[in-house]
Structure 1
Amino acid sequence: METLDLSEECDECEDVSELCLVWKILTPKILNRIAISNILQSVWKPRSQLVISSWGDNVYVFQFSKSEDWCKVLDEAPWSVMGNLLVLQPLHLGMVISNFDFCWCPFWVQVHGLPLDKMAKKHGETIGNRLSKLIEVEALSDGLLVGRSFLRIRVELDVTKPLLQGFILHQRTQSGEPMANVRVLHKYEKLSNFCYDCGRIGHNDTSCKFISKVDGVNSGYGLAICTGVVKHIGAPYGNFQRPPVEGWNADSLICR
């Protein structure tokens, strides 16, 4: 195949990447672009013009007119429309939209059932790294985190994999004697539609191709894994900085 150099200056070319977001709606259905646009316009209430362009297969490009609107949407991600998760990615100069990877999305996860002596930032970091890519543990100090009855952890989840429901905590006394095990549960804030059979986001149990109906009955997934949003007790939101090309993390909110 021949090569072509398009590096020469062009009066019609303009770098708008810093005002654009690329996103995909995780659903097997093709949704109506106008309906989606109307929903997001009404929820986001951008201060200036927002252009939404479809690139096929539920992939879209947002082009904002003001950086404040761009930052707000990333600050308050992830979002969902009609119960379906939107996976957002910043656009960077030179990136090809068809090559975007829509696997990763940030979530706040609540960890319930930990013994009081395990309610510490370092244990939250261990749990967060087990969940996926750790972003932060909600903490005002490095001591015991007794401000809530649960640990709250920010992670980037691989949305192509099943949600982790929790784990069994093995305990021992100071002398090394075994104690009763504790069942620790994960609850995901602002969780969009997911499959109760396989635990993956982006489809329901009527269209699951990963697990049989019989096995899905005993999967343990249900509404108990979902929870509402709680107020962040750490640093205030609204300080989003444009990330490097390699990746990004943002604080989040969901739209239903």
Structure 2
Amino acid sequence: MEHPNLEGLSLNEEEEGFRFEFDEEEDEQVDLRWCLVGRFICERAIHFNSMKIRMADLWKPLRGVTIKETKTGKFLCHFAHPIDMEEVLNGGPWTFDNNMLILEQVQLGMQIEQIPLYYVNMWVRIHDLPMRLMKERVGTSLANYIGSFVEYDKNNNFTFWREYMRIRVRIDVRLPLKKYSKVMNKEGKWCTVKFKYEKLGIFCFVCGVMGHAENKCEVRFSMEQDDGTRGWSADLRADPRSRGGRPASRWLREEGGGPVKQSGGDVAGHSNS
């Protein structure tokens, strides 16, 4: 039996690779620019069929969406139109059974399994902020303390007195949620501002991390003795935003001149139905 001639064989030859030309027409058939990859932050398996029906009902994409599950438990959402995809990205965060969904846009040239899914954009309300500090530059600084600044809600400036500032923040789900910060007022005194998170899913009252409750918390299991003290609470959840209602009085006016809307509650002699 003849043996192959191994003279001149380089041990590094196996490291060499191939470079191929990509077919543009093939890319057009499945446009990855209109795809989102996602995963849920949770400790249990997600019922795929129930989830995809629920998410499609929440998103209501005009041109439709296809949702597939990968072998590693991630989900690939292919939209038929970019407007539908953008509305889903901008309308988040989204939850299923109170489990938060992380979504990222698929970039050309990246493998789906290589896309890091550790960040979620959330609206955060800043409470107890001095009125003179209700400014975008202040919101940007506070957002970068919570995570990374994404957007300042200028539409929240609709009245001469605001209950809170509203900022959109990119948050690392592996880190504990920030609860508060201190700011100095005009008189040179420190005051505490509190953070409340909109559409906040399951999170742990022991470690402050999203994705699990305290009964599944590694920090709690590592304690020698649990005295019941908790550093986080449900106070971090923001109340659902009011979507308006019937006029409270035809004599009362908003600053812009329109009638004041009654957000809810019963009026004497009438029901909400």
The code of the aligned residue for 1:167 comes to: S
Is 2:24 the partner of 1:24? no
Following superposition, the deviation at residue 132 of structure 1 comes to 1.3
Q: What's 1:38 paired with? A: 53
Is 2:233 the partner of 1:222? yes
Q: How many angstroms apart in 1 are the aligned matches of 2:177 and 2:22?
A: 47
Q: How many angstroms apart in 1 are the aligned matches of 2:204 and 2:213?
A: 4
The code of the aligned residue for 1:32 comes to: H
Q: How many angstroms apart in 1 are the aligned matches of 2:63 and 2:147?
A: 36
Bigger proportion of residues as helix: 2
Tell me the C-alpha RMSD between the 2 structures: 2.8
Q: In the alignment, is the contact (CA less than 8 A) between 2:39 and 2:117 conserved in 1?
A: yes
Q: How many angstroms apart in 2 are the aligned matches of 1:215 and 1:112?
A: 31
Q: Where do residues 1-256 of structure 1 align in structure 2 (5 Å cutoff)?
A: 1-9=15-23, 14-139=29-154, 146-169=160-183, 173=187, 179=189, 181-211=190-220, 212=222, 217-230=228-241
Following superposition, the deviation at residue 116 of structure 1 comes to 2.6
SS at match of 1:183: strand
Q: How many angstroms apart in 1 are the aligned matches of 2:60 and 2:66?
A: 13
Q: How many angstroms apart in 2 are the aligned matches of 1:52 and 1:137?
A: 31
Following superposition, the deviation at residue 216 of structure 1 comes to 8.1
Following superposition, the deviation at residue 198 of structure 1 comes to 0.7
> Which digits, 9 at most, give the CA deviation of each residue in 1:120-163, with x for residues without a partner?
3332222122111111222369x9x8441211111111111000
Number of matched pairs: 226
Q: How many angstroms apart in 2 are the aligned matches of 1:112 and 1:222?
A: 16
Q: How many angstroms apart in 2 are the aligned matches of 1:12 and 1:84?
A: 36
Following superposition, the deviation at residue 19 of structure 1 comes to 1.7
The code of the aligned residue for 1:152 comes to: R
Q: In the alignment, is the contact (CA less than 8 A) between 2:68 and 2:77 conserved in 1?
A: yes
Q: Cα 1:151–1:8, aligned 2, differ >3 Å: closer, same or farther?
A: closer
The code of the aligned residue for 1:47 comes to: L
Q: In the alignment, is the contact (CA less than 8 A) between 1:197 and 1:215 conserved in 2?
A: no
Q: In the alignment, is the contact (CA less than 8 A) between 2:51 and 2:96 conserved in 1?
A: yes
Q: How many angstroms apart in 1 are the aligned matches of 2:64 and 2:166?
A: 36
Q: In the alignment, is the contact (CA less than 8 A) between 1:135 and 1:154 conserved in 2?
A: yes
SS at match of 2:92: coil
Q: In the alignment, is the contact (CA less than 8 A) between 1:198 and 1:216 conserved in 2?
A: no
Q: How many angstroms apart in 1 are the aligned matches of 2:35 and 2:153?
A: 29
Q: Cα 1:216–1:38, aligned 2, differ >3 Å: closer, same or farther?
A: farther
Q: How many angstroms apart in 2 are the aligned matches of 1:140 and 1:41?
A: 28
The code of the aligned residue for 1:160 comes to: R
Q: Percent identity?
A: 25
SS at match of 1:217: coil
Q: How many angstroms apart in 2 are the aligned matches of 1:87 and 1:106?
A: 9
Q: In the alignment, is the contact (CA less than 8 A) between 1:15 and 1:93 conserved in 2?
A: no
Unaligned runs of 5+ in 2: 1-14, 244-273
Q: In the alignment, is the contact (CA less than 8 A) between 1:193 and 1:203 conserved in 2?
A: yes
